[in-house]
Structure 1
Amino acid sequence: MPTLRALLVAPLLLVLLGLGTATLSSEPHLTPSAAYLPRLVARGGAPTAALLARHAPSASSAPYDTFRSTGPGIHRADRFRAGSITKTFVATVVLQLAGERRLQLSDTVDQLLPGLIRGNGNDGRRITLRALLSHTSGLYDYTAAASGTSARPVSATAAVRVALAHRPTNAPGGYAYSNTNYVVLGLVVQRVTGHDYATEIRHRIITPLHLTGTSLPGARTSLPAPHGRGYTRDPADGSLRDVTVLDPRTAGAAGELISTLCDLNRFYAALLGGRLLPPPLLATLLNTGAAHGVYGLGIYPLKLSCGTTVWGHSGRIAGSYVRTAATRDGRHTLTYRVDTDTLTDATTLEPGLLDAEFCGRAPRT
């Protein structure tokens, strides 16, 4: 599953901060996912977990929300680091620029950023913007290179230099998830617009959709209030370590976003509902052909056991894991999060939670 990888991610917590029980509210619309949520703590090893589901049964009906959490350490309005969900925002901006004819997805990196990508078999003259968006460029993931070292690139150009110290990870056209792709796309946005990608995201997405809990922090190391804590496990002794404060510049356009449960649901509902991209460009965003069905352009599908396909992205960064999934029309969305980096048995737990929400299946014991 796509993640912002090892540079900002430490291993899973060993010691839990208290299991807790699902917090039941007075909201009348309950879903099986509420009963499933405590498993992310009991089996997944997360200190606390929360989810927010939004349903809009029809275009004419008002949406309703269902919020659940597993304990007092995590709240509905909390700001948290959303990691690689940043990529969907960046991809949306790039598609909007394509719609404005300010760039084309067939443009090469070298056309827009001459000489940036050269060396060790990497050649920006052969890498298109579509290849960056779909993770088919072959560029090495700079976060993997920095794993386990104290030297962490804090600028986009430094991250690209780290990646270029390595040969391509796959042949041209092959899918290989790499955070470097979106760091380069951030530079493309700045080259085309004259503004950094954060400014364009605020202008084009955050402000129009009134995403009041969403921000791109730049060099700011703290989270805006209100927020909880983020924890990781110290690999040396297994103790809990608070990583709430961190330098997000290492993640950049690949994963610096801060958001809320409500804002992420609103964003994906608007995107899939056609409010941010016209139908032809939305179809382009959702086209998984380049990545052989695995990934679209900044968004990816997952087919559930009942046959329903949901669209969205996951985000992993030190102290936080979040996942948003939505139906193709954007009328049913779910965002869940835990306040640590990784879920044990995530390959089973996450599909189980999504099945419970979108297939209406009660969790099995």
Structure 2
Amino acid sequence: MSVRTGLVAATAAVAAVALAAPAATAAPARDDHKATRAAMDANIKDGVVGLAVQVKDKNGVWKATAGVGNLKTGAPRSAHDRFRAGSITKTFVATVLLQLEAEGRLSLDDKVDKWLPGVVRGKGNDGRKITLRQLLNHTSGIYNYTDDEGFQKAVFLADGFFKNRYRTWTPRELVSLALKHKPDFEPGADWNYSNTNYTLAGMVIEKVTGNRYGDEVRHRIIEPLGLHGTKIPGTDRTLGKPHSRAYSKLAETATGKTYDVTEFNPSAAGSAGELVSNPADLNRFYSALLRGKILPRKQLKEMKTTIEFGEEVGGYGLGLFKQKLSCGVQLWGHSGGIHGSLSETVTTADGSHTLTFNANSDWAGDSRPIMEAEFCGK
């Protein structure tokens, strides 16, 4: 799912890839990746500027790129590019909260108001009725702040973007945008993807630990796993080297002028989607997570306990999607979209076969055919 919910439909296409039904089939490792390569090339023909894909399986690491990383110079994408990973951030945030639960410092059944008293109030919103678990699995009912019309004009459309691209947004500001709206439903009554949930989750981490949520992500996940290309940027507008340029239409359609949006203050996404990473790091993180190297067994089971969307779609756990491919292979992971970037990382249930996809343009791109090719050979 994407921080850009509500605009350019390509982001939604990547998000939709993350919804499919469960299965227990193991994925066959493929050592030639010809089908994957063909699916990447098809993405470029469909309008993606450039792609970086990396696979880790029993045969080792396979890296591939397609298209270009810079429209002005024609320079190709690099397999080592750093990029904005969008809502993939959510898996990192959920992992930290689950670690805190394992340490006995909080319970996922705690009400939001216990840690953020009075913060969620107004228009029928009430943090005394919403649990931390409901934030993580998107059953809180709280409105998605990125759907707010004023925010979309200020951040996602060209005039607003160039006026506000370096603006710093505080978590309180983002939550206040959501609280101008009535809840989508009563807590626990339904499911709706809302970035506001993870803005609040980041605030809870800070209240519980006394540290910035990004510092907790760094010392609990990034440093122990040696994710040297990964950072929580805060207000840092840069990606760090190496990176390609990032492109957006900054419009409600996928036509019109293409803009370079590489520099951007990602506080507009915050703990819902500001992560910067690269393919190798994301593969390492999700593989380690599913292999039980980051969370105790109890917490990993909680993370994988999903809200089901139906037989043909799939489910969402705690910062983690599950999906099933046409050949029956079940995958776990998350997708993410943010200015100039569409990404997805998926891995098999045992963490043995992992793939990361990134497009450096946000109006076109479909990771589903790439996953079908890699895991099913289609």
Q: Give 1:206's aligned residue.
A: 222
Q: Give 1:243's aligned residue.
A: 261
Q: Report if the CA contact (8 A) 2:249-2:363 is conserved.
A: no
Q: Give 1:47's aligned residue.
A: 49
Q: Aligned-pair distance for 1:355?
A: 1.2
Alignment partners' CA distance in 2, 1:290 and 1:98: 24
* Structure 1: runs of 5+ lacking an equivalent: 14-27, 57-62
Q: Report if the CA contact (8 A) 2:137-2:307 is conserved.
A: no
Q: Report if the CA contact (8 A) 2:286-2:347 is conserved.
A: yes
| Letter of the 1:204 counterpart | R
> Which has the higher mean CA deviation after the structures are superposed, 33-42 or 63-72?
63-72
Give the alignment's TM-score, normalised by structure 1: 0.87
Q: Report if the CA contact (8 A) 2:51-2:67 is conserved.
A: yes
Alignment partners' CA distance in 2, 1:294 and 1:256: 23
Aligned to 1:148, the other structure's residue is in SS state: helix
Please state if 1:65 is matched with 2:38.
no
Q: Give 2:175's aligned residue.
A: 160
Q: Deviations over 1:285-310 (max 9, x none)?
A: 01004777521000101111011110
| Letter of the 1:324 counterpart | T
Q: How does 1:317-356 map to 2 (within 5 A)?
A: 317-343=338-364, 346=366, 350-356=367-373
Q: Give 1:194's aligned residue.
A: 210
Give the alignment's TM-score, normalised by structure 2: 0.84
Q: Report if the CA contact (8 A) 1:321-1:337 is conserved.
A: yes
Q: CA 1:191/1:290 → structure 2, altered by over 3 Å: closer, same or farther?
A: farther
Aligned to 2:334, the other structure's residue is in SS state: strand
Q: Give 2:328's aligned residue.
A: 307
* Structure 2: runs of 5+ lacking an equivalent: 12-29, 70-76, 155-159
Please state if 1:263 is matched with 2:281.
yes
Q: Report if the CA contact (8 A) 2:49-2:68 is conserved.
A: no
| Letter of the 1:3 counterpart | S
Q: Report if the CA contact (8 A) 1:83-1:316 is conserved.
A: yes
> Which has the higher mean CA deviation after the structures are superposed, 312-321 or 286-295?
286-295
1:180 aligns with one of 179, 191, 196: 196
Aligned to 1:324, the other structure's residue is in SS state: strand
Alignment partners' CA distance in 2, 1:153 and 1:234: 19
Alignment partners' CA distance in 1, 2:376 and 2:9: 31
Q: CA 1:55/1:279 → structure 2, altered by over 3 Å: closer, same or farther?
A: same
Q: Give 1:358's aligned residue.
A: 375
Q: Aligned-pair distance for 1:40?
A: 1.0
Q: Deviations over 1:277-329 (max 9, x none)?
A: 11111111010047775210001011110111101000100000001110011
> Which has the higher mean CA deviation after the structures are superposed, 77-86 or 232-241?
232-241
Q: Deviations over 1:92-130 (max 9, x none)?
A: 000000000000000000011110101101000000000
Alignment partners' CA distance in 2, 1:119 and 1:235: 31
Aligned to 1:207, the other structure's residue is in SS state: helix
Alignment partners' CA distance in 1, 2:5 and 2:329: 31
| Letter of the 2:182 counterpart | R
| Letter of the 1:286 counterpart | K
Please state if 1:140 is matched with 2:143.
yes
Alignment partners' CA distance in 1, 2:4 and 2:221: 25
Please state if 1:83 is matched with 2:86.
yes
| Letter of the 1:268 counterpart | Y
Q: Report if the CA contact (8 A) 1:113-1:188 is conserved.
A: yes
Q: Report if the CA contact (8 A) 1:10-1:232 is conserved.
A: no
2:31 aligns with one of 19, 25, 29: 29
Aligned to 2:233, the other structure's residue is in SS state: coil
After the TM superposition, which segments of 4 or more aligned residues of structure 1 sit over 6 Å from their partners?
none
Q: Deviations over 1:50-71 (max 9, x none)?
A: 2100003xxxxxx611111113
Q: Aligned-pair distance for 1:360?
A: 2.1
Alignment partners' CA distance in 1, 2:61 and 2:269: 31
